[in-house]
Amino acid sequence: MKQKSIGRVETQKFTIDGELKLSSGKTLSNVDIAYETYGELNAAKTNAILVCHALTGDAHAAGWHAGDVKPGWWEMVIGPGKALDTDKFFIICSNVLGGCKGSTGPSSINPETNKEYALDFPLITIQDMVHAQKKLIDHLGISNLLAVIGGSMGGMQALQWIVSYPKMVRKASIIATTGRSSPQQIAFNEVGRQSIITDINWQNGQYYDKEKSPDSGLAIARMIGHITYLSDDSMYMKFGRDLQDKDEISYDFTTDFQVESYLHHQGETFVKRFDANTYLYITKAVDYFDLSVGGSLAEGLKDVSCKVQVISVDSDWLYPADQSKDLLAALQSNDVDVIYNEVKSNYGHDAFLLENGQMNFLLSNFLRENVVDELMETDVPTISIDTEIKEAAAMMIHNEVTHLPVVDDDKVLLGIVTAWDLSKSIAEDKHELSDIMTKDVRYCKNGDSIEYIARQMKKFNISCLPVVDDDFKLEGTITTDEISHLISNL
């Protein structure tokens, strides 16, 4: 399908009813959440995907606002024919709590004072951001999300979602992020914050009604942050040691190199769209982020129940691949259905915003639905607990199967008999089915992913699994032969 833009979009606003309780124990009232949606929510409300933005992002993830010179920040993967196909999915993106692009944050009006909150705004966490997003999702009438997807700080939010609301998310794509901020990451954020706080125009955060804002400090914070988003290779490719508008070095402190000019430009444009106090609050929330329990990520992620995709970038030194692999190991130790992908790129941390082909490929493959329901055999022979062993053997031969589910009159699964069990009955001179059948049966549900089931079959050396519903009634079976056929045709 040809990829297209979703065209003109508008930002909407949702106001949370009542007070929003924060991790600190403090509360906020009259909280606004700015958000955008793309595509249509289906009648069953099962096609909703929440996209979480990074540190300086906003709700405008795709499409065009009136007067825009460029589209939303993740236009490359959101829209008809793209990985987040708006002809199939209902995409939601909200500006985080504490933000400055429509959601309540330090630059918003405090209803108690009718002035900007400034430093009266309470400290927030990634968990608070997700709590506010949950209120929005409830408001939209969505009880389950098909997926939560995010990169960098957005990846932290996606992780927090599957920890805080594990039964509400079917899939999560965690991109270029970590399960807990490292000392180095905290250090970079603190340098950025200090550049703002020490700006003479910051005035302890009370600059909103003043002629000057801490633009210099905020610009420097952006310059520092932007360096961490790039890689050494990408900077060499883009700038080398080329001079800026001159033929030779100046031997003074004016701008000599193109990379210097680029960073100045990044800082200057950033202050026009972002609030300095918001930068302080959001970077602090990132610093606080730590999903480990007792120092263990595995313990912190023990309740995760959805399918997870962990994506790293090989040239990312802000959130290096090793931190993604730590997440992978923690999830695997909890037997979570998880896959790992690594983007090959010279772009560094920003690759998830720039590598069009790789990101569309990885996300579209992850979102593709290959579940047990597509492959399971529903017309399967079954036997009762009273069936004679000889009769069970005859049924296997007649139906050319090696497994027979044992069910009661209501089709509730009681066990399973295999060809191996029948062979054992002869060797051990057993005559009752209950003496040879496997009672502690491994099983699956029709919504389980094929990838997960295949790994379970390999892990436990199983060639057939019964499929049961929530009442443990048999719905069918799935075999390794059926899975192999699917894989060979992908």
Class of domain 181-287: mainly alpha
Q: What are 383-429's pLDDT values in tens digits? A: 999 998 889 899 999 999 999 999 999 999 999 999 888 888 888 88
The CA distances from residue 359 to 4, 34, 350, 353, 460, in Å, are 16, 26, 12, 8, 33
Per-state percent for the chain, helix, strand, coil, to nearest 5: 35, 20, 45
Q: Is 456 exposed, middle or buried (0-12, 13-18, 19+ CB in 10 A)?
A: middle
Alpha-carbon gap, residue 178 to 176, rounded angstroms: 7
The CA distances from residue 107 to 29, 120, 130, 211, 424, in Å, are 15, 10, 20, 16, 74
Residue located via tokens 């209501």: 410
Buried (b) or exposed (e) across 56-75, using 16+ Cβ within 10 A?
Answer: bbbbbbbbbeeeeeebbbbb
- Sort strands 307-313 and 338-343 into parallel, antiparallel or unpaired: parallel
Catalytic residue of the set 103, 107, 108, 152:
152
Give me the residue spans of the domains in the chain: 181-287, 373-488
Cβ atoms of 62 and 6 within 8 Å: the answer is yes
Q: What is the pLDDT of residue 458?
A: 87
Residue 424 is encoded by which pair of tokens?
Answer: 């054992």
Alpha-carbon gap, residue 345 to 233, rounded angstroms: 10
Residue (of 77, 83, 152) closest to 348 by Cα position: 152
Cβ atoms of 146 and 48 within 8 Å: the answer is yes
Cβ atoms of 482 and 456 within 8 Å: the answer is no
CA dihedral over 88, 60, 224, 237, signed as positive or negative: positive
Cβ atoms of 35 and 93 within 8 Å: the answer is yes
Catalytic residue of the set 275, 316, 350, 421:
316
**Backbone dihedral angles phi then psi of residue 24, each to the nearest 5 degrees:** -75, -10
Can 449 be counted among the known catalytic residues? no
Alpha-carbon gap, residue 219 to 217, rounded angstroms: 5
Q: What is the pLDDT of residue 490?
A: 45
CA dihedral over 375, 378, 384, 390, signed as positive or negative: negative
Residue 228 is encoded by which pair of tokens?
Answer: 């961490």
- Paired with 145 in beta bridges are 169
Q: Give me Rg for the CA atoms of the chain.
A: 27
Write out residues in the chain with pLDDT < 50, as ranges.
489-490
> What's the chain's length in residues?
490
Can 485 be counted among the known catalytic residues? no
Can 152 be counted among the known catalytic residues? yes
Alpha-carbon gap, residue 373 to 377, rounded angstroms: 9
Cβ atoms of 308 and 171 within 8 Å: the answer is yes
Q: How many whole angstroms from its chain centre is CA 61?
A: 15
Cβ atoms of 408 and 384 within 8 Å: the answer is yes
Cβ atoms of 253 and 306 within 8 Å: the answer is no
Residue (of 311, 356, 372) closest to 84 by Cα position: 356
Residue located via tokens 């794509």: 173
Q: What is the DSSP letter of 102?
A: S
Alpha-carbon gap, residue 467 to 474, rounded angstroms: 6
Alpha-carbon gap, residue 152 to 188, rounded angstroms: 15
Quote the pTM value: 0.79
Catalytic residue of the set 60, 349, 350, 403:
349
Cβ atoms of 54 and 31 within 8 Å: the answer is no
Residue located via tokens 């389980």: 448
Intra-chain end-to-end CA distance of the chain, in Å:
18
Name the superfamily (CATH) of residues 373-488: CBS-domain (3.10.580.10)
